[in-house]
Structure 1
Amino acid sequence: MSPGPGGDSAPASQTTTTATTSPRVSTFASLRVRNYRIHYVGSAISNTGTWMQRIAQDWLVHELTGSAAAVGVTTAMQFLPMLLFGLYGGVLADRFDKRRLLLATQSVLGLTGLALAALTLSGAVNVYHVYALALAVGLATVVDNPARQTFVSEIVGPRLLRNAVSLNSANFQSARLVGPAVAGVVITTVGSGWAFLYNGLSFLAPVLGLLMMRTAELTPAERAPRAKGQLREGLRYVGSRPELLWPITLIGFVGTFGYNFPIWLVAFTDQVFHADAGTYGLLTSLMAVGSVTGALIAARRGSRRLRFTVAAAALFGALLMVAALAPAFLVFAALMPVVGVVAMTFQVTVNAGVQLASDPAMRGRVVSLMMMVFVGGTPFGGPLMGWLSDEFGARTGLLAGGAICAAASVAVALVLARIGGLRLRISLRAGRRGVALVPRDPEELTAPA
C-alpha cells in the first residue's frame, strides 16, 4: 500500500529493486466493466477526431507559413497552459466530481474543433487563429487531463487500473493509426476544414457516454477538501518519494525533447523525402502501429521495475538517433513502428506506476504534475527542436532530441542506483554480464561523502 500524504516514503534501498505487483489479468479485462466499455467507445470516436485535427492542424500551419518552427509554436501554444497551470488542474480533479468536470471540458474541446472548421471552410483562417484555438484547447486540457486520467480508477478500481491505463493508451494509439491516414486523404481531397469538423462533432460521443454511465457503479475516491497549500502539499508529497520523483523527472525530459514527432515528421517529409501530406500521415500511422502493440503488451503485465522504465527511455533515445541517420525512406519508415513500441512501453509504465504508487487523495495532483512536466515542456522543446530542424536540417534536430533523452536516462539511472545502494560494474570476464548494477561494498556505503 502506498503511504498517505503524511506518511513516510519507502526506504531508499527498495526504490530500484521493488516492483509494483498486481495479479496478471487478461489483455481486455477492463472491457468487462460496463461503464468502462462506454468510456472506451466514446474515447475511440473522439480520439480519431483528435488525431485527424492534429495532422490537419500541423499541415495547415505548414501551408500557411512554410516553417517547421511555426508548427512548433502551434504545439507550444497548445501545451503552454499545462506548464503554467497544470497543478491547478490536479487540485480541481482531487476536489470536484471528475465526471462533471469531464462533461464541461469535453464540450469545450468539441467547440474549439467546430470553430476551427468554420474558419477554415470559410477561407478566413490565418495562423493566429490556429494559435488562439490551440491555446484554448490547452486551457481545457489543463483540467481535462488529470480528471480523465484519474477517472479511470473510479471506473475500474485499483485491481484493473494498470490494465485500463494500457487499454486507454491502445485506444488512443489505434486512433493515431486510423486518424492520420484518414486525415491525409481528407486534406488532399477536400481540405483541412472537414477534418476539423469531424473532430468537433466527435466529442458528442464521450459527452453522451458520460451521461449514460451508471454512477452507482463508480467507486469515487475521497475528495480533497478545499484548503490552503494544496499545491505545495502535492509537490512535497512527490519530492519525498523517489518512486514518484524520478520517473516524473525522466518523463519530463523525454516529453520535452523526445516527443516532438509532429515537428520532425513534417520536417523529414518536406526537407528529406520531398513528399506531401499523405506521406506525413503514413509515417505517423506506422509509428502508431508500434504504439498500439506496445500498449497491448503492457495491458498484460502485472509488474515492472523502475530499471525497466529507465532502460525503455534509454532505448527510445537511441532509436531516435538511429532514425536520424537512416539513409533512405524505407529504412526510416521501418524504424517508426519500433520507435512506437518503445515510446508507448515507456509512457504506459510511467503512467500506471505513478498512479499505483500514489495515495488516492493525492492522485490528481501527482498525475497533473506528471502531465505538466511531460507535455508542459513542449513550449520549450517544440520550438527548440523546430528551430534546430529549420537551421541545421531535420536529421540534426532528431539526433539532438534522441541524444538528450538517452543522456537523461543514464543520469536518472545513476541517481537511482546511488539511492538504492548500487554501483555500476563493468566486467570483461567470460561468463559474466559485461555491464551490470550490483550492490556496493559495505565500506563504500559507510564511507563519508
Structure 2
Amino acid sequence: MPGATLRALAHRDFRLFFAGQAVSLVGTWMQHVAQAWLVYRLTGSSLALGTVAFLANVPVLVLGLAGGVLADRYPRRRLLLIAHGVAAAQAALLAGLTLGGRVEVWHVAALALALGVVHALEMPTRQSFLADLVPRDDLSNAIALNSALFSAARFLGPAAAGVLVARMGEGAVFLLNALSYAAVLVALAAIRVPGGGGTGRGRPALVEGLRFAWRAGPIRAALLLVASVSLFGVPYAVLMPVFADQVLGGGPQTLGLLLGAAGGGSLLGALRMARRRGTSGFGRLVGRAALAAGVALMVLSQVRSTAVALAVLPLLGLGFTTVVAGSNTFIQLHVPDALRGRVMALFSVTFIGMTPVGHLIAGAVAEAAGVPATIALYGAACVLAAAGFGLMLARGGGAA
C-alpha cells in the first residue's frame, strides 16, 4: 500500500519541506558522528563525550518551553528560516576551525551549546509546522514520514561520515553539513503557507499549555514514557565511539556502521508507523517497543563482535523510534491547534531535553564502571519504564 504510506506527500508544501529536510538531515547526522569522533580523538575520554553531548542538548531542557510559546506566537515558517540560517553558520565556523587546525575541545563544546540553543527554539516550531502543511486527516502520516526521513538520515549520515572522516577528516564533514542547509532554506522560501502563530502570550500562555498536558491523562502518560526512554535509553549512542574502539577494536568506519545500523532499524519503525491509521492500540504498541528496546540494550552490553552488534542495533532503533513517533502522533492528534506549539515544546523537552542528562550520567558511569556495564544498566531502566507505563495503561492513565 505505497499510496497509503506516502499519502502526505500529495500536498505540495509538505513535499517541499520533506525534500529540503532530506538533504539537511543527512548533513546533520554526518556532523553528529564527525563531532563525536573529533571529541574522542582530542580527549580519549568518555566523560568528554558525555559532556559535549550534554551541552548540545541541555538547552532544549532549559529553553524548549519558551520555544513552544514562540511557535504559537510568530509565523513558524519565518522562525524556521532564521533557525536553519544560524545552524548553517555554526557548522561553517566549526568547519573553519577544524580545517584550519586550530580546533580545541572547548571550541566544539561552545559551538555544540550554541547549536543546542537554536534547536531548543526550532524543534517545537518544526513539530508544529507539520500541521500547517497537511490537513488533519493526513497529519499522522506526515509525522510518521517525517520520522522515517529522520531515521533514513540517521542511517545514511553516519555511514557516509565514517568513510569521509577516515578519508578527509572531520572538517570536511562539517563543511558539507553547512552547505546542506541550503536545501531546506530554499524549500522554506518556496512554501506558500504562512505557518501558524499569533496565539501565545508570555507566561500565562506557557502555564496554559502545561496545565492541558498534565490534565490529559493519555498525553501525560506518553510524555512520562518518552522522558524515561530519553533519559535511560537513547543516550546509549553517546558511548558508541568508545564501544567501537575499546570493545570492538574498530575506528570511525565501525562507528558509522554501528550508528547506521541503529538508523536502519529506526527507518523500519517509522515506515511501520506511516502505514497506520488512527491511534487505536498505540499505548500497547509503544509500551512493547520500550520493553523490546530495553532488552536489546542488555543484549548489546554482552556483545563483543561487530557482526552481532550490527544485528542487535536495528532492534534498538526500531524500538526507540516506535516509542517516540507513536507518542508524537498520539499527542498531535489530541491537542488543539492553539496549544500545539506549547504542548509539542513539552514533548521536545521530554524527548530531547532529558537526553543530555542521560548523556552526562552515561559518560560518568562509563568512566567508573565501563561501557558494557553502563549499557546494561540503561537497558534495565528501560524495561522498568516500560513496566511502569504498562501499569498506567492498566489503571486507565494512558492511551489504550
Normalising by structure 2, report the TM-score: 0.95
Which structure has the larger Rg over C-alpha atoms? 1
| 1:259 maps to 2:234 | yes
CA contact (8 A) 1:258 1:317 kept: yes
Q: Given the alignment of the two structures, is residue 353 of structure 1 paired with residue 334 of structure 2, yes or no?
A: no
Following superposition, the deviation at residue 72 of structure 1 comes to 0.8
C-alpha deviation, 1:313, in angstroms: 1.1
1:294 aligns with 2:269: yes
Q: CA separation in 2, counterparts of 1:265 and 1:79? A: 17
Letter matched to residue 321 of structure 2: M
> Residue in 1 aligned with 2:15?
37
Q: Is 1:267–1:389's contact at 8 Å kept on the other side of the alignment?
A: no
Is 1:51 equivalent to 2:29 in the alignment? yes
Paired residue type of 1:144: E
Which has more helix, going by share of residues?
2
Counterpart of 1:140 in structure 2 is 118
Closer/same/farther in 2, CA of residues 108 and 348 from structure 1, 3 Å limit? same
The CA deviation at 1:307 is: 2.4
Aligned counterpart in structure 1 of residue 310 of structure 2, from 328, 333, 336: 333
Q: Deviations over 1:253-275 (max 9, x none)?
A: 10111101432211211111111
Q: 2:62, 2:133 → 1: CA distance?
A: 29
**Given residue 396 of structure 1, which amino acid in structure 2 is its aligned partner?**
A
Q: How many residues align?
A: 396
Q: Deviations over 1:148-175 (max 9, x none)?
A: 1110110012111111111111111111
358, 365, 372: which one aligns with 1:395:
372
Q: Distance in 1 between matches of 2:317 and 2:341?
A: 27
Matched, 1:233 2:208: yes
Please say if residues 217 and 397 of structure 2, whose CA atoms lie closer than 8 Å, have aligned partners that are also in contact.
no
Instruction: Supply the distance in 1 between the matched residues of 2:5 and 2:174 (Cα, whole angstroms).
Output: 33
Q: Which residue of 2 aligns with 1:445?
A: none
In structure 1, what is the Cα distance between the partners aligned to 2:120 and 2:319?
26
Q: Percent identity?
A: 38
In the alignment, the residues of structure 2 paired with residue 171 and residue 378 of structure 1 have an alpha-carbon distance, to the nearest angstrom, of 21
Root-mean-square deviation (CA), in Å?
Answer: 1.7
1:261-302 superposed Cα distances (whole Å, 9 cap, x missing partner): 432211211111111000000111111111111111110101
C-alpha contact 2:76 2:196 (8 A) present in aligned 1: no
Aligned counterpart in structure 2 of residue 281 of structure 1, from 216, 234, 256: 256
> What one-letter code is carried by the residue in structure 1 that aligns with 2:205?
Q
Conservation of the 8 A alpha-carbon contact between 1:221 and 1:361: no
Q: What is the aligned partner in structure 2 of residue 129 from structure 1?
A: 107
Q: Distance in 1 between matches of 2:291 and 2:3?
A: 28
C-alpha distance in structure 2 between counterparts of 1:328 and 1:127, whole Å: 31
Shift of 1:308: 2.0
Quote the residue 2:179 is aligned against. 201
Q: Relative to structure 1, is the Cα distance of residues 66 and 327 closer, same or farther in structure 2, using a 3 angstrom cutoff?
A: closer
Which residue is 2:41 aligned to?
63
Give the match for residue 210 of structure 1.
188
For residue 416 of structure 1, report the CA deviation from its aligned partner: 3.0
Deviations 1:189-213 (A, max 9, x none): 1110000001111111111111111
d(CA) in 1 for partners of 2:370, 2:357 = 19
Match of 2:293 among 316, 329, 337: 316
* Deviation digits for residues 309-333 of structure 1 (CA, Å, limit 9, x no counterpart): 1221122111111111225332222
Q: 2: CA distance between counterparts of 1:114 and 1:382?
A: 25
**Per-residue deviation, 1:404:** 0.9
* In structure 1, distance between residues paired with 2:5 and 2:323: 18
Alignment correspondent of 1:184: 162
Q: Distance in 1 between matches of 2:393 and 2:312?
A: 30
Q: Residue type of the partner of 1:195?
A: V
Alpha-carbon offset, residue 176 of structure 1: 1.5
CA deviations 1:67-106 (Å, max 9, x no partner) are 1111111110011111111100001001110000001001
Q: Which amino acid aligns with 2:49?
A: V
Give 2:64's aligned residue. Answer: 86
2:219: which partner in 1?
A: 244
In structure 2, stretches of 5+ residues that fail to align are: none
